Structure 1
C-alpha cells in the first residue's frame, strides 16, 4: 500500500509540473507562438504561396502540404523543451524546486509530459487550419487519430534530445536559435513541401536519408491509403531507439546537476 501511495505521489507531482509548464506556454508569447501561431501562419503561407505553382491550385496542393506542415509544427513545438528547461534553470526556478517536498524527477518529467499536450495542440492547429482552407481527408477519424499519435510520438521522442541540449547548453536564446535553424534545414531539405524529383540528384540523395522525409512519407501513405505502412513501422522503431538512447542520458545529466 505504501508503494502505491508513493507512486501516486510521484505521478501527482509530475502532472502538477506538466500543468505548470502548459500554463507557462500559454502565458509566454514566444512559447505560445511556437505551439499555436506558427502552425497557422506556415499552413496559410505555404498553401497560398506555393499551391498554384506546385500543384496548380491550393486545393490540389493541400494533400501534400498537410503532412509536411504537421511534421514541421510538431518538431517546432518539440524544440521548445530545451529552451524552457534552460530558462527555468537560469532563472533559479529549478533550485527552488529542490527545496520543495516533491519528487526530484518531477520537474524534468513534468516538462516532457507537458510536451505531449503542446505537441497535440500544435498538431490540432495544423489540421484545423488545413481543414478551413479546404482540405478534406479521405480517411476516417480513427485513422486521423493514428496519424496524429504517430506524429506526436516521433515529436515527443525528439523532445528528449532537445531536453538534453537544454540541460547542457547554458544560453536559452542560443538553444532556441539553433533548434529553429536545424528544424528549418531538415524540413526544407525533405519532401515536405515540394516533389523531390524536381531537385538536383545530389539533393535527392540527402532528402532520401533525411528522417523527416521518412516520417512525412509514412504519414502521407496512411492519409492516402488508410492503412499502416512499413515506413510507419520504421518511424515507430526510430522513435523507440531515440527514446532508449536519450531518455537515460537526459535523466543522468539532470541527476548530475541536481
Structure 2
C-alpha cells in the first residue's frame, strides 16, 4: 500500500502594508533647515564672488545719490540730506540683495540638486527655508557696507542702542519676508537670468517710486498716493525714526502688514512651485 505525501499549499502572501508618508515635526524641520542653511553659508565662504553685489550695490547707491544727485536734491544742506538718505539706502540695498536667492535656487533646480534633496529623509520645505536663512549673511554684509561707508561720509546715529538694534532687526526681517517673492519666481522662471530680469522689474518701481531719495511731496499726486503706502517708503520712515529719532508707530505698523501679507501669499506659492519642480 503506497503512501501519498500531501503538500499543503503555501499560504498566500499578505498584501504589503501601505507606506505611511514621512511626517516630520517642526523641531526636525528647523534642524534640517539650519543644516541646509549651513550648506548655503559654506558656498558663500568658498566663493566670495556671491557676495559681490551685496558689497558693490550699496557703495554705488551711496556714491551716486550723495555725490551725483545730492547737490540738486540737498539744496546745500548736505548733513540733513545724508540723515534722510542713509536709512532709505539701507532699505533699498537689502531689497536689491534679495534678488540673488531666486537665481541661486533656479540654478540648483537646473542641476538636479532638488532631486537629491527629494531622495533624502528631510522636510520638504527645508531646502527653501535653509536657502532663505543662509541669505541673511548677504543682508548682513550689505548693511555693514552701508553703515561703514555712511559713517565715513559723516552720517551718525542719534538714538540709543536698543533703537539701533531694532532698526537692523527690522531690516533683516523685511529682507527675509520679501525674499519669498524671489524664491517663488526662482521656482517658476526658466533660467537664472529671467529671475534677475523679473525681480529687477519688480524692485526698481518699488524703490525709485518711494521717499528713499526725494520727499514724496515733490511727486505727482497719483505717485504720492503710492509712495505713502509703498513698503520701501514705510520701512524707510521706520528706519529714520529708529536711527535719527522721530515717529515710528505708523510706518512700522504699515511695514509689518506688508511683511505679513507677502509671506502669507508667496511662502505657500513658493512651496507649491518647489514641490512641482522636485517632482
Q: TM-score range by the shorter chain?
A: 0.7 to 0.9
The TM-score with structure 1 as length reference comes to 0.87
Q: 2: distance between equivalents of 1:240 and 1:181?
A: 22
Aligned ranges 1:114-133 → 2 under 5 Å: 114-133=134-153
Q: What is aligned with 2:9?
A: none
The TM-score with structure 2 as length reference comes to 0.81
- Does residue 22 of structure 1 match 2:41? yes
Aligned ranges 1:45-60 → 2 under 5 Å: 45-55=64-74, 56-60=76-80
Contact 1:207 1:213 in 2 (8 A): yes
- Does residue 164 of structure 1 match 2:187? no
- Cα deviation 1:63-121 (Å, max 9, x = unaligned): 11112111111111112221111011112222233344544332111101112232222
The structure in which a higher percent of residues are helix is: 1
- Does residue 83 of structure 1 match 2:83? no
Deviation at 1:159, TM superposition (A): 0.9
Q: 2: distance between equivalents of 1:9 and 1:214?
A: 36
Please provide the CA RMSD for this pair.
2.3
Q: 2: distance between equivalents of 1:48 and 1:117?
A: 29
**Stretches of structure 1 lacking an aligned partner (at least 5 in a row):** none
Contact 1:78 1:158 in 2 (8 A): yes
Q: 1: distance between equivalents of 2:209 and 2:25?
A: 47
Q: What is aligned with 1:190?
A: 210
Q: 1:118 to 1:215 in 2, by over 3 A?
A: same
Q: What is aligned with 2:58?
A: 39
Query: Number of paired residues?
Result: 253
**Stretches of structure 2 lacking an aligned partner (at least 5 in a row):** 1-23
Q: What is aligned with 1:73?
A: 93
Q: 1:7 to 1:171 in 2, by over 3 A?
A: same
Secondary structure of the structure 2 residue equivalent to 1:104: coil
- Does residue 13 of structure 1 match 2:35? no
Deviation at 1:57, TM superposition (A): 4.9
Secondary structure of the structure 2 residue equivalent to 1:135: coil
- Does residue 243 of structure 1 match 2:263? yes
Q: What is aligned with 1:94?
A: 114
Q: What is aligned with 2:132?
A: 112
Q: 1: distance between equivalents of 2:137 and 2:167?
A: 16
